Chains A and B, each alone.
Chain A
């Protein structure tokens, strides 16, 4: 009920038109959907773009300092999105921050993550942190799917609170995986390029 309402609200406001393909529909293994990150709407937009049957098994990775602040936002993160929290501040350096994500993948859930780790200000993503690589290395069976969100940096730029109703397309790219001999740098460069290639060119030269 609440999830249908949330999807309708997100779709009504920013469109979140998916470019979902047959190839993606056929995947029967857990996936990591990794995307560029520019606004607080990103998680909701990707989540809303999934076909209904998929949405229930997809869990977004969410920063605890933004989503776990009580009130409506936390309620949605806990009960609707079933978010997996990561602690960006890392109080306890002994604890593995990726462990809860690994647990979800082992249970057969797919995840949505933003490998930049924080919101950028431009339409193209900044450098990726190593989390994506480490997860792919630990879970070699996981399918990696690049995703590009095209207009959310315009709808809700960093520092603004009122979203503009600009139509966003959620571009899902070709599924890929980490090859056994690929280095961290080579993989992260390839993953970054996969997201950038979905961006197309901008109107201003």
Chain B
């Protein structure tokens, strides 16, 4: 377990960052006038508090090992799927497909990771799940909006279960040059993707002027994307020593993670708006729902997983 000192250094870095963020937000709050901190500042404080909790939970799971990490991600999938289905209008005929999603597909996908059965993990939902769900819906006999209903449920399942499950699936990856790097890869992915989100938010709030896609997301700006994306890519490259990657590859891979994360946030923002909602839920204080925090991870995880597997597997 030569990874432990590396992981400990990175975790120490993350806690240091959170500490600085908390101190800055506290100083800003102290400077606020008699009417109290502004709405943005209050939201910032909520977000930082939520980050402490999220980082704490992730640390605890990593310390407890791969079993706990699998349980954590299966719960995150369940919360995310619930948020997606809650916002998606389903009909009586969707009862059995939804039972299959929540109570069969979701646990099975994570059990397959636990069993290290890569082949089945990779095709179960996109092949078997894809074909089975419309059959279950058709058996219910309701043809009203049939295609839309099937498509929405499948989309939710692929996004919140299949894509998200690629994060703990990193623990499955082994190879001559990869060794037992599972937790390092997992932490690296989350760090780059979330740092990119945070830096985009910060840069956008500080310098943001030009809206990138005003109809999709009112908070994404060109300045935020460039500043945050560059920052996260450079941090990802600088952390190459913790990973099995060379500096050049770390730079390219973190740029890829940042790009996927950005596209994920953008695409899911559009999905959210087409479902008529501003946030996916209210689970995480200041952030919205679980999917609001995971939207970029959901897109970046499968790509990162397959790139690493292709390069090193």
Residues of A within 8 A of B275 (CB): 203
Instruction: Check B89–A167 contact: CB distance below 8 A.
Output: no
Instruction: Check B276–A203 contact: CB distance below 8 A.
Output: yes
Given contacts A17-B282, A165-B82, A167-B83, contact A203 B89 (CB under 8 A): yes
Given contacts A203-B275, A203-B276, A204-B145, contact A165 B78 (CB under 8 A): yes
A122 to chain B, nearest CB (A): 9
A66 to chain B, nearest CB (A): 20
Query: Could you say which of A153, A162, A164, A203 contacts B88, with CB atoms under 8 Å apart?
Result: A203
B292 to chain A, nearest CB (A): 14
Decide yes or no whether A60 CB sits under 8 A from chain B. no
B112 to chain A, nearest CB (A): 22
How many A-B contacts if CB must be within 8 Å? 38
Residues of B within 8 A of A160 (CB): 95
Query: Could you say which of B78, B82, B89, B102 contacts A202, with CB atoms under 8 Å apart?
Result: B89
Please count how many residues in chain A sit with their CB below 8 Å of the partner chain's CB atoms: 15
Decide yes or no whether A157 CB sits under 8 A from chain B. yes
Instruction: Check A157–B92 contact: CB distance below 8 A.
Output: yes
Decide yes or no whether B62 CB sits under 8 A from chain A. no
Instruction: Check A167–B281 contact: CB distance below 8 A.
Output: yes
Residues of A within 8 A of B95 (CB): 154, 157, 160, 164
Instruction: Check B103–A166 contact: CB distance below 8 A.
Output: no
Residues of B within 8 A of A17 (CB): 282
B7 to chain A, nearest CB (A): 32
Decide yes or no whether A151 CB sits under 8 A from chain B. yes
A116 to chain B, nearest CB (A): 17
Closest to B149 in A: A204
Residues of B within 8 A of A202 (CB): 89
Chain A, range 138-184, C-beta contacts under 8 Å to B? 151, 153-154, 157, 160, 162, 164-167
Residues of B within 8 A of A11 (CB): none
Decide yes or no whether A119 CB sits under 8 A from chain B. no
* Bound-state Cα–Cα, A116 to B88, Å: 27
Query: Could you say which of B89, B102, B281 contacts A164, with CB atoms under 8 Å apart?
Result: B102
Decide yes or no whether A55 CB sits under 8 A from chain B. no
Decide yes or no whether B86 CB sits under 8 A from chain A. yes
Query: Could you say which of A164, A167, A203 contacts B98, with CB atoms under 8 Å apart?
Result: A164
Instruction: Check A167–B82 contact: CB distance below 8 A.
Output: yes
* Bound-state Cα–Cα, A151 to B86, Å: 8
Given contacts A167-B86, A203-B276, contact A162 B92 (CB under 8 A): no
Decide yes or no whether A82 CB sits under 8 A from chain B. no
Decide yes or no whether A121 CB sits under 8 A from chain B. yes
Given contacts A157-B95, A160-B95, contact A166 B82 (CB under 8 A): yes
Over the window 272-305 of chain B, the binary record of Cβ atoms lying under 8 Å from chain A Cβ atoms (1 yes, 0 no) is: 0001100001100000000000000000000000
Closest to A17 in B: B282
Decide yes or no whether B18 CB sits under 8 A from chain A. no
Instruction: Check B89–A166 contact: CB distance below 8 A.
Output: no
A163 to chain B, nearest CB (A): 10
Residues of B within 8 A of A167 (CB): 82-83, 86, 281
* Bound-state Cα–Cα, A164 to B86, Å: 10
Residues of B within 8 A of A166 (CB): 82, 85-86, 98
* Bound-state Cα–Cα, A153 to B91, Å: 9
A119 to chain B, nearest CB (A): 13
Residue of A162, A164, A202 with most chain B CB atoms under a 10 A cut-off: A164
Residues of A within 8 A of B89 (CB): 202-204
Chain B, range 68-110, C-beta contacts under 8 Å to A? 78, 82-83, 85-86, 88-92, 94-95, 98-99, 102-103
Residue of B88, B92, B99, B102 with most chain A CB atoms under a 10 A cut-off: B92
* Subset of 29 A-B contacts with CB under 8 Å: A17-B282, A151-B86, A154-B90, A154-B94, A154-B95, A157-B92, A157-B95, A160-B95, A162-B99, A162-B103, A164-B95, A164-B98, A164-B102, A165-B82, A165-B102, A166-B82, A166-B85, A166-B86, A166-B98, A167-B82, A167-B83, A167-B86, A167-B281, A202-B89, A203-B88, A203-B89, A203-B275, A204-B91, A204-B145
Q: A164-B95, A164-B102, A166-B98 provided; 19 other pairs, C-beta below 8 A?
A: A17-B282, A121-B92, A151-B86, A154-B92, A154-B94, A157-B95, A160-B95, A162-B99, A165-B82, A165-B102, A166-B85, A167-B82, A167-B83, A167-B281, A202-B89, A203-B276, A204-B89, A204-B144, A204-B145
